[in-house]
Amino acid sequence: MNETVKDIIAKAKEGNQIAYSRLLDMFWNDVYGFQLKRTENENDAEDITIQTFSKAFDKIKTYNDDYLFKTWLIAISKNIHIDLVRKRKKSLLETRRNEEAIQKVYDDSLSMEDQLIQEQNLADLLRDIKSLKPHYQEVINLRYFHELSYADIAEKLNEPMNNVKVKLLRAKKLLAEIIRNRR
């Protein structure tokens, strides 16, 4: 049975983690490519994309399906980029506003990526983790080897918890892809 984007969004609105993962897979390249053209900087494009999905998942219940989901994501992404530019123009001493606490989006079931990662030999897994970008290595290390909660990771990295969740989701997907390609 082929699910439509509307079906997946409806499940995401109910807090279904697999639906969040599928939306991330479906639209990551669109948002990242859009921001890469705007910023001409891979790190900024990736950070803005992570923030875009973080904000979109946090506000998914406000999404109006009269508009394309991709259009909604791009609009969020544009606003995040504009905010970033404004922040950089301001003094470095200015502190960022605290973000609202976010609702837990993870359910108890393991994703396909989690299952694949758990099946790996530790030495192979560590080697594969080292092939990720440093910020992805860090969240994987803190979550799975130091067994920190999302809140603790967010505090340690001085990042909003939703950014940590999206970054960890992306890291797991990239790691699962590395593992699959090695098989």
pLDDT along the chain (183 residues), means of 10: 84 90 93 92 89 92 90 93 78 42 41 65 77 89 84 90 87 86 74
Both 59 and 133 in one domain: the answer is no
Ramachandran region, residue 67 (left: φ > 0; alpha: ψ -120 to 50; beta: rest): beta
Domain region containing 163: 112-182
How far apart CA 11 and CA 1 sit, in angstroms, is 15
Cβ burial 81-92 (10 Å sphere, 16+ → b, else e): beebeeeeeeee
Identify whether 94 is part of a domain: no
Q: Which of 55, 89, 123 finishes a domain?
A: 89
Identify whether 56 is part of a domain: yes
Whether 161 and 136 have beta carbons less than 8 Å apart is answered as: no
The pLDDT value recorded for residue 120 is 61
Both 63 and 130 in one domain: the answer is no
Identify whether 107 is part of a domain: no
Both 80 and 118 in one domain: the answer is no
| Domain of residue 45, CATH code | 1.10.1740.10
| Domain of residue 120, CATH code | 1.10.10.10
CA-wise closest residue to 172 among 134, 123, 142, 132: 132
Could you report how far apart the first and last alpha carbons of the chain are, in Å?
28
Under DSSP, is residue 91 helix (H, G, I), strand (E, B) or coil?
Answer: coil
Both 124 and 79 in one domain: the answer is no
The packing angle between helices 69-89 and 17-39, to 10°, is 50
Identify whether 97 is part of a domain: no
Identify whether 121 is part of a domain: yes
The pLDDT value recorded for residue 92 is 47
- Which residues have C-beta within 8 Å of that of residue 96, sequence separation ≥ 6? 87
Identify whether 60 is part of a domain: yes
Measuring CA to CA, how many Å separate 108 from each of 17, 18, 27, 105?
Answer: 9, 11, 24, 10
The pLDDT value recorded for residue 49 is 92
Cβ burial 63-73 (10 Å sphere, 16+ → b, else e): eeeeeebeebb
Identify whether 176 is part of a domain: yes
Identify whether 98 is part of a domain: no
CA-derived radius of gyration, the chain? 17
* CB-facing half-sphere around the CA of 82: CA atoms within 13 A: 6
Total domain count, the chain? 2
Both 77 and 126 in one domain: the answer is no
Threshold 0.85, pTM exceeds: no
Both 85 and 139 in one domain: the answer is no
